[in-house]
Structure 1
Amino acid sequence: MPSIFKYAAAALAAAAPFASAQTYTDCNPLEKTCPADAGSTQSQLNFDFTQSSGLDKWTTTAGSVSTSSNGAVFTINKQGDAPTIETDFYIFYGEISVTMQAAPGTGIVSSIVFESDDLDEIDWEALGGNTGQIETNYFGKGDTSTYDRDTWPAVANPQSTFHTYTVNWQKDKTVWSIDGTAVRTLNYADAQGGARYPQTPMRVRIGIWAGGDPSNGEGTIEWAGGQTDYSKAPFSMYVKSVQITNTNPADSYTYSDTSGSSDSIKLSGAGSLSQTSSSSSSTSSTTSSQSSTESSTTAHTTLATTTQTSTSAKTTTAGSTTASSTDATTSGSTSGTGSSTTSSGSSTSSGSSSTGSGTTSGSGSSSSAGSSAGSSSGSASSTAPQTSATFNAAANVVANYLGPVSLLGLVTALLQL
């Protein structure tokens, strides 16, 4: 049983309160029009759970959660306990780091889950009886037709040691890391060609539950490591802090259709307006730079020679690197010498956020798929108009040489008179 979502969807959780509390959707936008998801206009959010204020912007959806010097405390005291919190906002791609000490106890599950309205999901789950591993998992669109997506990277004593569990979730790939070391990478294409890649706005949920509850199905109990003995309670998980980077900050996110594609998500409010403003500013800056490049180009001529010079100002995206070439024109490609960072999702413009990540280097063509304010799909190029200087050699000789000579002769003749 690789995840709580599988456990709920496979109908093994009829008596498990945590499953119904943690894996659900109030409105599935794949089936009908749903209200917009509340976002956050902050790109960086840091929560210190050693302080009670750290729980601001979090909602307790089950049980009760308190704070202490060890962080937020999630405790199972008896059968049916499943304390859970979730953010009161969604993020659209980004990085989430949770510093956690998992709960001990056979069958006890400490969970970090990121989930969207259409049931895209990314998980960390630590089992109380497994002192050397933690599970990573993901689901796309609630598809539980197969259960082969989990991995079990090694981690030392997660029930007695704080570790930082990070997910860097971007448009082109998702990377799970433990204490800064990557332990798993999921590429977009690896998830059924992207069809099951998590790609819609998500909330962050953190909670503890008893997968080994005697009322659960045999498969769930086996996955959780065995039946939970409540006489050994309490079982406590501690979460010291959470850091969230929201790649696409906005007031809200709306599904514009029922495709569940990231490209169907529309951003609105301060975050998206900021992106548009930054992109416009960046575009103006690039255009100004381009105009300056073009106007500073002069036609170089030599005696009895015709020289033609043209400048092509090539731009990767608004606010990206501008390069110029002499005696050449370029159309429809983006190039540059050195390294150029492009998003597999959307290109980054100055002051705005990118959807996706990745680096390409060298010269040649680069492109970005998807969209965000200020980004270009494919490659954007700006070709300066060609400036030709046609040179008449004979006229130039008369003007530059015979003219001054004739004038000198006239002055000399007047002096002689």
Structure 2
Amino acid sequence: MDKVSGSGFESKNEYMFGKMDMQLKLIPGNSAGTVTAFYLSSKGPASDEIDFEFLGNLSGDPYILNTNVLSQGKGDREQQFFLWFDPTADFHTYSILWNRQRILFSVDGTPIREVENMESREVPFPKNRPMRVYSTLWNADDWATMGGLIKTNWSNAPFTASCRNFNADMACVWPSNLTSASSCSFISTAGDQWMIEELHTSDQENLKWVQKNYMVYDYCTDLKRFPQGLPLECNIA
């Protein structure tokens, strides 16, 4: 990315549910104002999204990993984390599991966030629109670093993030002529167990460890942002 343009790519296929991951190495040094993203998104208005966004920072300060889930265009469900390693020193694997029951965000195989399907409680969940996988690098210095207080230092450009080993072997490819989600909603082989995958006891402990030690923001505790009351899912045990 330079002052003229950012960069990015998208998958050739659209997917309806899947277990997908990619290895990323983030911008070293002063990355303030930049956002490196790995995410799923549907086309059209009121889109669905599942987001990993890495918010750049000044040299010596840690990246913030922002996660979010949008359904029917409704988002505002951010959880943010510091990482327990330097994401600029080497490649690390960032994974999204998306099935009808839940969405799991994982880093190097360690779950950091789970979003359960609570449609029965009138909480929107992305399950009706196919999504492509994207990775982008762009300037967001109006909000990315300290709420936009720290701007991108263009003397450090071009900014470079690296991606490799994208994997969507465990995912349902959406045929271009398909009009129903039905063919991506059943278990056909033992290799499709990701369609019903959930957190086991050890994974739940790892999730609690990450959220206790590395979570720096949870929308479900932000009373200033939601003065009329927290979103419905925040109050569902």
TM-score, with normalisation over the residues of structure 2?
0.69
The superposition leaves residues 51-82 of structure 1 with CA deviations (integer Å, 9 ceiling, x where unpaired) of xxxxxxxxxxxxxxxxxxxxxxxxx1x31321
The one of 112, 131, 146 aligned to 1:183 = 112
Aligned equivalents of 1:249 and 1:353: distance in 2? Answer: 13
Residue 68 of structure 2 is matched in structure 1 by 137
Residue 79 of structure 2 is matched in structure 1 by 151
Structure 2 portions without partners, runs of 5+? 199-237
8 Å CA contact retained: 1:94, 1:247: yes
Are the structure 2 counterparts of residues 180 and 143 from structure 1 closer, same or farther at C-alpha, using a change threshold of 3 Å? same
Are the structure 2 counterparts of residues 124 and 266 from structure 1 closer, same or farther at C-alpha, using a change threshold of 3 Å? same
The one of 245, 270, 293 aligned to 2:169 = 245
CA shift for structure 1 position 351: 7.0
Residue 97 of structure 1 is matched in structure 2 by 21
CA shift for structure 1 position 221: 6.1
| Structure 2 residue matching 1:159: 3-state secondary structure | coil
| Structure 2 residue matching 1:80: 3-state secondary structure | coil
Amino acid at match of 2:136: G
Amino acid at match of 2:66: E
8 Å CA contact retained: 2:37, 2:137: yes
Are the structure 2 counterparts of residues 138 and 92 from structure 1 closer, same or farther at C-alpha, using a change threshold of 3 Å? same
The superposition leaves residues 236-267 of structure 1 with CA deviations (integer Å, 9 ceiling, x where unpaired) of 10112211134334533644xxxxxxxx4255
Amino acid at match of 1:127: L
Q: Which residues of 2 match residues 324-343 of structure 1 at below 5 A?
A: none
Select the structure with the greater relative contact order (CA < 8 A; seq sep ≥ 6): 2
Q: Which residues of 2 match residues 21-32 of structure 1 at below 5 A?
A: none
Aligned equivalents of 1:249 and 1:242: distance in 2? Answer: 15
The one of 129, 140, 144 aligned to 1:211 = 140
| Structure 1 residue matching 2:147: 3-state secondary structure | helix
Residue 117 of structure 1 is matched in structure 2 by 43
Are the structure 2 counterparts of residues 97 and 108 from structure 1 closer, same or farther at C-alpha, using a change threshold of 3 Å? same
Instruction: State how many pairs are aligned.
Output: 189
8 Å CA contact retained: 1:135, 1:151: yes
The superposition leaves residues 330-374 of structure 1 with CA deviations (integer Å, 9 ceiling, x where unpaired) of xxxxxxxxxxxxxxx53x244784683147xxxxxxxxxxxxxxx
TM-score, with normalisation over the residues of structure 1?
0.41
8 Å CA contact retained: 1:107, 1:225: no
Aligned-residue RMSD, C-alpha: 2.7
Amino acid at match of 2:74: D
The superposition leaves residues 72-111 of structure 1 with CA deviations (integer Å, 9 ceiling, x where unpaired) of xxxx1x3132111001210111111110011241111101
Residue 38 of structure 1 is matched in structure 2 by none
Aligned equivalents of 2:169 and 2:148: distance in 1? Answer: 31
Question: Is residue 2:167 matched to residue 1:167?
Answer: no
Residue 198 of structure 1 is matched in structure 2 by 126
The superposition leaves residues 159-178 of structure 1 with CA deviations (integer Å, 9 ceiling, x where unpaired) of 23321100111110011000
Amino acid at match of 2:34: I
Identity rate of aligned residues, in percent? 22
CA shift for structure 1 position 134: 1.1
Q: Which residues of 2 match residues 79-94 of structure 1 at below 5 A?
A: 79-94=3-18
8 Å CA contact retained: 1:169, 1:175: yes
Aligned equivalents of 2:98 and 2:134: distance in 1? Answer: 15
Amino acid at match of 2:32: T
Aligned equivalents of 2:81 and 2:6: distance in 1? Answer: 25
8 Å CA contact retained: 2:92, 2:108: yes
Amino acid at match of 2:171: T
8 Å CA contact retained: 2:103, 2:114: yes
Aligned equivalents of 1:252 and 1:351: distance in 2? Answer: 25
Aligned equivalents of 2:196 and 2:25: distance in 1? Answer: 30
| Structure 1 residue matching 2:80: 3-state secondary structure | coil
Residue 231 of structure 2 is matched in structure 1 by none
Aligned equivalents of 1:245 and 1:225: distance in 2? Answer: 41
Residue 357 of structure 1 is matched in structure 2 by 196
| Structure 2 residue matching 1:201: 3-state secondary structure | coil
Larger strand proportion of the pair: 2
